[in-house]
Amino acid sequence: MKKRRKFCGFLAFLVLLAVALIPAGKSQAAKLPALKVKGTKLMNSRGRTVQLKGVSTHGLSWYPQYVNQKAFTYMKKYWKINAVRLALYTADYNGYCNSDYANRLKLLKTVDQGIKSATFAGLYVIVDWHILSDGNPQTNQNRAISFFARMAKKYKNNTNVIYEICNEPNGGTSWNTIRTYAGKVIRTIRKYDKNAVILVGTPNWSQDVDVAAEKPLKGYQNIMYTLHFYAGTHGSWLRDKAQKALDKGLPLFVSEFGISDASGNGNLNKTEGNAWIRFLNKNKISYLGWSLCNKAESSALIKSSVSKTTNWTSKDLTDWGRWLKSKF
């Protein structure tokens, strides 16, 4: 009897040891297929067209509580998303580039937690260098290079990580300026990760994709260009610009959108929203809705009165949240 107990105890020890040795951030499920860009389409390693659908967090400094394993697993199972975006603000309040060392470490920890949680949940995850008030991506170019070197080196073996290198260039920043910045950051990422999909922002808050299509980046593979819209402000005229870009062979990726006005507030335009979804589905363009938080604004997915960070019922969601969930 004693020998049997010893054996059982030893067996339990081996099981615990095996669990402890599972790499951080990896579930016991199979890895997600690596993605690649072919023509204007995003494809998996089997040559099948992939359309990512999911949600973007709000700023990680402001709403880090939504970056958790339970939330990501819940949305994968019940919302049927397959991707999540981690919005790391750069120059806004408590942004990565205008805060102290301690806060930068805290933000890096949140990004790491987001990637780990997404990976375990079986989601693709976009690491978003969320420039906004800084306007020109070259303003914090050195920080961007250092950040993406760190990320690419650490996650080079993760087939589910996508890098978004400049959220919404604005303030009159030209495509030539963005293009120069992008080349430097892409080369940095490629030192460590040769194949990850990289998303490049376009002029005028990532709307002028037709301008980027006139002179796309050359010499790189697996590059896509971001198109952002808010249906309360951006209608058929922006879809026309997107169509022009597609006709020129530019691969587009909608890493952020909503159906309020461009401020993130105002009334919801579901008619234009439905027109956009039809356009995106027709062209197999991936899309992620803004944003996973309970901020008191039209573009928040969670009601401001709700404090839960997972397991949301329909009553917990805003009108926008319910509409977006129905599209998944």
The pLDDT tens digits for 223-241 are: 999 999 999 898 899 999 9
3-state SS, one letter per residue, for the chain: CHHHHHHHHHHHHHHHHHHHCCCCCCCCCCCCCCEEEECCEEEECCCCECCCEEEEEEECCCCHHHCCHHHHHHHHHHHCCCEEEEEEECCCCCCCCCCCHHHHHHHHHHHHHHHHHHHHHCCEEEEEEECCCCCCHHHHHHHHHHHHHHHHHHHCCCCCEEEECCCCCCCCCCHHHHHHHHHHHHHHHHHHCCCCCEEECCHHHHCCHHHHHHCCCCCCCCEEEEEEEECCCCCHHHHHHHHHHHHCCCCEEEEEEECCCCCCCCCCCHHHHHHHHHHHHHCCCCEEEEEECCCCCCCCCECCCCCCCCCCCHHHECHHHHHHHHHC
Query: Within a domain: residue 118?
Result: yes
d(CA 111, CA 160): 14
- In the predicted model, is pLDDT for residue 26 greater than 50? no
Query: Within a domain: residue 241?
Result: yes
Query: Within a domain: residue 26?
Result: no
User: Which sign, positive or negative, has the C-alpha torsion 82, 222, 33, 242?
Assistant: positive
As a whole-number percent, the residues of the chain with pLDDT over 90 amount to 89
Residues 6+ apart with CB under 8 A from 157: none
* Least confident span in 6-10, 179-183, 235-239: 6-10
Looking at every residue in the chain, the average pLDDT score rounds to 92
CB atoms inside a 10 Å sphere around CB 237: 8
Query: Within a domain: residue 27?
Result: no
- Which of 255, 251, 266, 254 has its CA nearest to residue 298? 266
Query: Within a domain: residue 196?
Result: yes
Provide the token pair at 98. Answer: 């205008």
* Greater model confidence, 25 or 94: 94
d(CA 193, CA 107): 22
Phi and psi dihedrals of 242, rounded to 5? Answer: -65, -40
* Least confident span in 28-37, 199-208, 274-283, 299-308: 28-37
* Greater model confidence, 13 or 147: 147
* Least confident span in 25-34, 80-89, 173-182: 25-34
As a whole-number percent, the residues of the chain with pLDDT over 70 amount to 91
Known catalytic residues? 168, 256
Query: Within a domain: residue 15?
Result: no
191: containing domain? 52-327
Mean pLDDT within 40-50: 94
Per the structure, the count of domains in the chain is: 1
Query: Within a domain: residue 62?
Result: yes
Q: Tell me if 116 sits within 8 A of 109, measured CB to CB.
A: no
305, exposed or middle or buried, with CB in 10 Å at 0-12, 13-18, 19+?
A: exposed
pTM above 0.85, yes or no: yes
Query: Within a domain: residue 238?
Result: yes
CATH number reported for the structural domain that contains residue 306 in this entry: 3.20.20.80
